[in-house]
Structure 1
Amino acid sequence: MSNAPVPPDGPIGAQPDIPVCARHSDRPTRLRCSRCDRPACPDCLRDASVGMQCVDCVNEGARTVRQARTSAGAVVSNGRPIITQVMIALNVLAYVVTVVQSGSPMNNSRAGLFTATSMIPELTANGEWWRILTSGFMHFGLLHLALNMAALFVVGPVVEQELGKLRYSAVYFLSLLGGSAAAFFFGTVCQQLAGASGAVFGLMGALLIVFKRQKRDISTILVVVGINLVSNLFTNASLLGHLGGFVIGGLLTLAMVKAPAKNRNAYQIGAVAAAALLLGVMFVLRASELDTAAEVILEYARTCR
């Protein structure tokens, strides 16, 4: 054993104890959070306006910071347009099933699924109410599907980002029902309706309101909507269905962006409920009218086939 004197601070070359990360006890570190001063390893530190902060302090600070919101009250986000992607996937899947059943990509309306889910007014009024919704996922051929999905792919993400997923879903489905309601209420019994056009036109109406609210140029939207509506006069497309979706989508979005910040959710829920009630009344009144004149309507329907 050596009798050499030992320095007061310990043997020469000795290292003081190194603190360990507050979140990882197996990681020695000399770094500290500039906010709470706890030891933190590099994986637990984030750049801050002053120094580096641990993830706990960053998360705590985020909870106290007011998140930016859109005019409709949705949290500003650059996330993926999940609802739009799901709607496109469902429409494409429904089309594929009808093609497989019918054996034809252009004459898929002969498929059993198409026949059972497209909107035929006389059958709808006779109790097959699911058709007012399911018809929005059926399409007459590949071109019909491609045009609607292309429009949804372009318009959908913009509106979804502004409204948020829940509000966007409400606008989409109520626009779809608005198209069905307009065609059902004002149209004849000699038409078979299918397609996502009501929902797509509803989103165009919503985009028009969003751009107007943001003081952006709306001339392109007006031209696109105008061309589509005029083209309805020369095709078998349902002008009533397109107009119904456009009006419901536009008015519902207007109510959402105009709702006062205080009690915004209550106002928006009220607007959704009012739109749903209006459409429901339209369906019931028309169904009652068709039921009253059932014999005449059925005879007329037979002559249309």
Structure 2
Amino acid sequence: MSDALVPPDGPIGAQPETPVCARHADRPTRLRCTRCDRPACPDCLREAAVGMQCVDCVGEGRKSGRRSQTLVGAEQTEGRLVVTPVLIVLNALAFIATAVQAGNPLVNQRSAIFAETALQPVLVANGEWWRILTSGFMHIGIWHLVLNMAVLYIAGSSVEPELGRLRFTVVYFLALFGGNAAAFYFGNAGGWLAGASGAVFGIMGALIVVWRRKKRDISTVVVIVVINLVSNLFTNASLLAHLGGFVIGGLLTLAMVRAPRENRNLYQIGAVVAAVVLIAGMFALRANDLMNLMGI
């Protein structure tokens, strides 16, 4: 038997009792979470910015951590579209309803639904204000619908993820109202107006602003917008509605993008309110003029 002295902590090479994983009591481990310092087996650890963290700490970090934001302050998403396809479906359903009622998709504007929902300035001034909204879901012929929805999907695929669902919806509908307001205020009092073109042009205006801010090439989009606007001079399409929607959509998005980080939401709400006041004022002034002309 050796007379060598034994260290007080035990023989050299002896190991203290190995701790077990905080989640698995049957798994001894010498690994620890760098955040909570609890023992954790390899299956319970995840790579983190610094060291390895247990799955519990990773979950807590996701709940408390803030997601990155887009140019306008919207929460960054994975790019999955929601509002754009919903709008396309609503427009398609409205067209199907008019086509079925008319008995022919090429002359769906002959349906009673179309007659009750399309925008006609005199009727709007006489109290049928719902037409300002419903006319944006009416289309004259299937190709009118297909073209608008194709452009909406292409532009919306880039704009909706950047603006976020709420802001995208606001820009879409204010562009729709802005286009109708321009045609209502400056256009022919006896004409009819239908289609989502004003809203779609508003989204294209938003696309130009977003891409310009992100330093992407906007030349193709600008050329498409110019060609469409020029073509309006040779068709029955409403140049005023397209221009009105484009201006409102572009300026509103510009205000959202350029809003300072401090009080960003307040500035953006202010821009929306200003657009609403402008559009409502145009409708009110023109309606009053038309009522006076009709002697009502």
Per the TM superposition, whether the score is higher than 0.5 is yes
Quick one: distance in 2 between partners of 1:183 and 1:43?
A: 64
Quick one: distance in 1 between partners of 2:67 and 2:273?
A: 28
Which secondary structure does the structure 2 equivalent of 1:164 belong to?
helix
Quick one: distance in 2 between partners of 1:220 and 1:129?
A: 37
Which secondary structure does the structure 2 equivalent of 1:95 belong to?
helix
- Residue 60 of structure 1, CA deviation: 2.7
Which secondary structure does the structure 1 equivalent of 2:224 belong to?
helix
- In structure 2, the partner of 1:6 is none
Would the aligned equivalents of 2:135 and 2:195 in 1 still touch at CA under 8 Å? yes
Which secondary structure does the structure 2 equivalent of 1:262 belong to?
coil
- Residue 113 of structure 1, CA deviation: 1.5
Quick one: distance in 2 between partners of 1:101 and 1:44?
A: 62
- In structure 1, the partner of 2:154 is 154
Quick one: distance in 2 between partners of 1:42 and 1:85?
A: 43
Q: Does 1:199 align with 2:199?
A: yes
- In structure 2, the partner of 1:83 is 83
Deviation digits for residues 100-130 of structure 1 (CA, Å, limit 9, x no counterpart): 1111111111122211111111111110101
Farther off after superposition, 86-95 or 46-55: 46-55
Which secondary structure does the structure 1 equivalent of 2:105 belong to?
coil
- In structure 1, the partner of 2:74 is 74
- In structure 2, the partner of 1:135 is 135
Farther off after superposition, 92-101 or 256-265: 92-101
Percent identity over paired residues = 60
Farther off after superposition, 280-289 or 113-122: 113-122
- Normalized against structure 2, the TM-score is what? 0.86
Quick one: distance in 2 between partners of 1:46 and 1:115?
A: 62
Quick one: distance in 2 between partners of 1:113 and 1:39?
A: 69
Quick one: distance in 2 between partners of 1:166 and 1:284?
A: 27
- Residue 206 of structure 1, CA deviation: 0.7
Structure 1, gaps ≥5 residues long: 1-15, 297-305
Q: Could you tell me which amino acid in structure 2 is paired with residue 128 of structure 1? A: E
- Residue 37 of structure 1, CA deviation: 4.2
- Residue 54 of structure 1, CA deviation: 3.1
Would the aligned equivalents of 1:21 and 1:28 in 2 still touch at CA under 8 Å? no
Quick one: distance in 2 between partners of 1:221 and 1:188?
A: 29
Q: Does 1:103 align with 2:118?
A: no
Deviation digits for residues 171-201 of structure 1 (CA, Å, limit 9, x no counterpart): 0000000010000000012211111100000
Deviation digits for residues 74-118 of structure 1 (CA, Å, limit 9, x no counterpart): 122223111111111111111111111111111111122211111
Quick one: distance in 2 between partners of 1:208 and 1:153?
A: 15
Q: Mark the CA change 1:177 to 1:42 in structure 2 (over 3 Å): closer, same or farther.
A: farther
Q: Does 1:245 align with 2:245?
A: yes
Q: Does 1:94 align with 2:99?
A: no
- In structure 1, the partner of 2:260 is 260
Which secondary structure does the structure 2 equivalent of 1:53 belong to?
strand
Which secondary structure does the structure 2 equivalent of 1:257 belong to?
helix
Structure 2, gaps ≥5 residues long: 1-16
Would the aligned equivalents of 1:28 and 1:41 in 2 still touch at CA under 8 Å? no
Would the aligned equivalents of 2:19 and 2:39 in 1 still touch at CA under 8 Å? no
- Residue 144 of structure 1, CA deviation: 0.2
- In structure 2, the partner of 1:302 is none
Would the aligned equivalents of 1:133 and 1:177 in 2 still touch at CA under 8 Å? yes
Which secondary structure does the structure 2 equivalent of 1:46 belong to?
strand
User: What number of residue pairs does the alignment pair up?
Assistant: 278
Q: Could you tell me which amino acid in structure 2 is paired with residue 255 of structure 1? A: A
- In structure 2, the partner of 1:186 is 186
Which secondary structure does the structure 1 equivalent of 2:194 belong to?
coil
Q: Could you tell me which amino acid in structure 2 is paired with residue 179 of structure 1? A: G
Which secondary structure does the structure 2 equivalent of 1:106 belong to?
helix
Would the aligned equivalents of 1:18 and 1:28 in 2 still touch at CA under 8 Å? no
Correspondences of 1:1-305 after superposition (within 5 Å):
22=23, 28-30=26-28, 34=33, 35-38=35-38, 45-49=45-49, 52-63=52-63, 65-294=65-294
- Normalized against structure 1, the TM-score is what? 0.84
- In structure 2, the partner of 1:4 is none
Q: Could you tell me which amino acid in structure 2 is paired with residue 104 of structure 1? A: N
Which secondary structure does the structure 2 equivalent of 1:58 belong to?
helix
